[in-house]
Structure formats: C-alpha cells, structure tokens
Structure 1
C-alpha cells in the first residue's frame, strides 16, 4: 500500500498569495470581476463596499485569443444565446410590437375615435405600455350615443406650485362644466366638504369667478400653452375643434388669467398648426403675389434710376492736383491749339521728304 500524506491547506492556496484586504491570512477566493484576492466573507463584503464591485464577471471584457480557454469560449457562447432569446422575446411582446400611433386599434377605441371625430374632436391614443393609456377609462355608450370622458381636474393655488389633482372617470359630454364642478364647489356635497381645506379659495370664489383652461395638445410647445373654456357650455362643445390625447386635462383657477407657466392659444391657431399650413397672407401681400390677368393691359415698367457716378479714389485726386500745379490747361482753346501744332508738324515732315 502506498502511504498518503495530507497536504496542508496553506500549501494548497499558496498560489493566490495573501488576502489583499486584511493582508494577514492566505487568500482563498478571487473576485470574478476585479480579481481581488480575499480570505473570508468579511473581506469579500469589505472589498465590494469599498470598490463598489458586484462580484459578477464582466462578460463583455476583452480577452486576447492566446488567453482564452474552453471556459471563456463556453461563456461567450452562452452570452450570445441569451442575447438571441432576449431579442426574440422583445419581438413577441405586444407592447413593443408597433411604434406608430393609431395603428390596429381595438374595436371599442376605433368607435370612440370616430365618434369623437363626428363631434369635431381629434382624439389620439398612446401606446399600450404608457401609464396614461392604461388609466384612461373614456368610453362610448353605444345605446345612448354619448361619450363618457375621463377628466383630470387640476385646481391651481397661488401659494403653491403643485395643483390639487382629481380624476373623474365618468363625465358625460352632455353636462356643462358648471354641473360637473358642482360636487367640488358646493359645500353640501360630501366631496366638497371633505376637501374643504384645499379647495377653500375656489369654493369661496364660486363658479362665476373661476376661469377654466384646457391643456393644449398636438401643437408646438404644447406643454406651455392652453386655451380658455366656457363653464356654461357642455363638455362636448368645449372639446370641439381641439386635440385630446387619451383624456382632457382642465385647470381651474380663481384668477382671470392662465396658470403660471402657461399662455393662452386660440382654436384657430391650433387648427393651422395641426394642418401644417401658414396663415392666409394679407391683402397687401396678395396683391404682389397674385398673377396678373392677361386681358388687362400690362403696366409700363418703372424707369430705372441713372447710376450714380462712382467716387474717385484719393490717389487719382492727388494726380489731378499735381497736374494743376504744373499749369496743364484743360480748356478747349488749349486743346485746339495743340491739335493745330501737330498738323503743322506733320506738313513740315512731308515737305522735307
């Protein structure tokens, strides 16, 4: 029989060296991510806390081919398999399937959008994974031919930037805004009495002194614009000619101006921006851009103004002044005399010849 001798544990782990945290005990573990050698669980936790290391190996870290082993090869193969499964799962997820709005709507939403369009309201829906779409409870009552809107009421306060929010899930389009807000402003109702502390200023002012503002959608800078609503009109008539995303958001303020950070916008401006067209030109601009009638006589062109003489350079002016200093005469007499002298000179030359 052969004798077996037990190798001390210190010799088995001597290849890792001492612990890099406490530097007193021989190391037993190596971190898969940062490769720090530790000896116990306490040192492992210290190294994770100080180096902010999660202990998971970086599977995308570069490694040269000379250092790759079978273990690294299988790890890369499994990583690629996980990426493929994740991509296939995203393709089958119905929430991520389409990125375009208004595409393949369910039948109830399709009928609701058409009913809103008949009333002059452009209703748009968000994708199924958005929280605003999930919490929307607006529906069309098919028998009554009536739309019951979900309305978000925001009561604006002067001393606070955060408004008080209420969400009502069944607001008939045939009711006026005054009737819909009665439960919040009339103290005899339980809802108004329970929120007396936060709605005190609005209840004191009354519906006649309150201003209602609808948040604009589908226009440029929609987050900073709104337009006024009439409390004596029905909800359906107030939403006519406007764009609504999922459900309307209405601000209630006891000041006769838009809430802080918002500016008023007219429905006509919204229609122009939604259609992507420029406003009609004025009469003065149309007179210039309209084509002339061929039957009418053409107007004579305006006479062109004569070109102004160019200014002479300072160097030329200096030359003229220098010529004047030598007594050069530019008069017609001097020019005629000079020409006669030239003719006499030419005659004399002919005689000599």
Structure 2
C-alpha cells in the first residue's frame, strides 16, 4: 500500500492551458461559441472564421440535455422564440406591402408623375411577369431590355436587366451592365470586349417603342448618352418596361477591291490608239 502511495500523483488544481489552434504558438484566451475552437487573439479569431466559414454565433437551436440545461440556456431560448415571433410579424408586413394590386397602382402613379405614360398588362402576360420595376425612396428602378449590336456577323446580345435607377444617365447604366450578377460568362466577356476603353458617347442609344402604339411619333427615339433615364422616358408611352437598342459609333471599315486599278497617262493611251489604228489599215 505504501509503495502505491509513493507513485501516486494527485491531480493538479489548475487546468492546463490550451494552445491556440490557429497559430499553435500562444495560449488560448477565447473559445468560439459555435465550433468551440480555441484562439488567442482577434486576428486568430477572424482567421478561423474565414478558413472554416464559421459565423462565431452559438447555434441557438442546438439540443441541450437536461443535465446541461441552466438559467442561461433558458434565457437564450426565450430570446430565440421572441426573435422568431418578431421576424414572423415583419415578414407578414413585408408581404402585405408588396401586394400586386397596390404595387401596380404605386408604379403607375409615380410613372405618371414623371410624365411617363406607363401601361401595365394583365398578370398572365409574359412581359408582365418579366417586369420587376419598383418605386422606393422617391426613385423609380426600371427593368430594361437591352438589344446590344455586336459585330456584323454576330447575333445581337439581348439582356433583361433590373433595377436601373431613373436618376442615372443612360450611358452610365449601360457601362455598368458588365458587372451585373445575372450575366453568364459569355455575356460578360462580350460586354467587356465591347466596352473596353470606350466611353458612353462612343455608342448610339435608341428607345424602341411598342409596335402596338404607332400613334406615337415614330417607333424609335434617339437618346443621348448624357440624358437621365427619367428624361429618356418622359412623354413616352411605355408598355411594362422600356427597350433600348445600342450600336457602336465606330466607322464602318472600307473593304479593298479584289482587283487592281491601273492608271495610265493620257498621251500613252493616245499613242496606243494610233498604233492600233495603223495596224488595222
């Protein structure tokens, strides 16, 4: 018995320090509430969030056993339920505010206030479903269909872009299309190649009016790149959303003829004519 006690070492009262799991150099001071990773400083904490994609917030819906459940867990659950109830009320209010009938009325009213004769179609029309124009903060954000003419042997690029603010110029809106998130890789490359090193005044913009309303002054209206979208649409009849055609102002290259043109001196031609006349005699 005494021999056993001689080799027995009582447990230490101090908890051994844990090393930071990111730098593996310093002693840890913090523990992530979500993944429980030990870190020593703010840079290591931020780095662990970036590498592991951790939010750093405790999973409030995680299971807690009855043994581990305490007053802090109860307070956290109550706060979680209150937050869920508050978010539910906000979601219902948001759905009520975007009611289709109310949304259409506000859109037409604000368009008319800007001298735009906006006509909205019935809900089952494809163009009505495509239109995501809206009014917010005293500004209208339009859906625009762009028909961009590329090279002569290429098919025009047709894009439906949403959220064009009516206070921006038409040229500024066009130059910002290449960063739109809805574009695929091919469309983005085509736009970047077209816009490379060019300003807005290097393109001509034309507003295409709806063919069903030919009582308007023509079917196309030339637009200035420095004119705001609001000014472009003023005193126009727009069905759902505007359509803008874009062409480059680059000069058309002149093709070289397949044959060579030889210029002769007049005296040389006269001598040849006289010699041919003598030979015929």
For the superposition of Structure 1 and Structure 2, which TM-score range results when normalised by the shorter chain? 0.3 to 0.5
Larger radius of gyration: 1
User: What is the TM-score of this pair, normalised by structure 2?
Assistant: 0.46
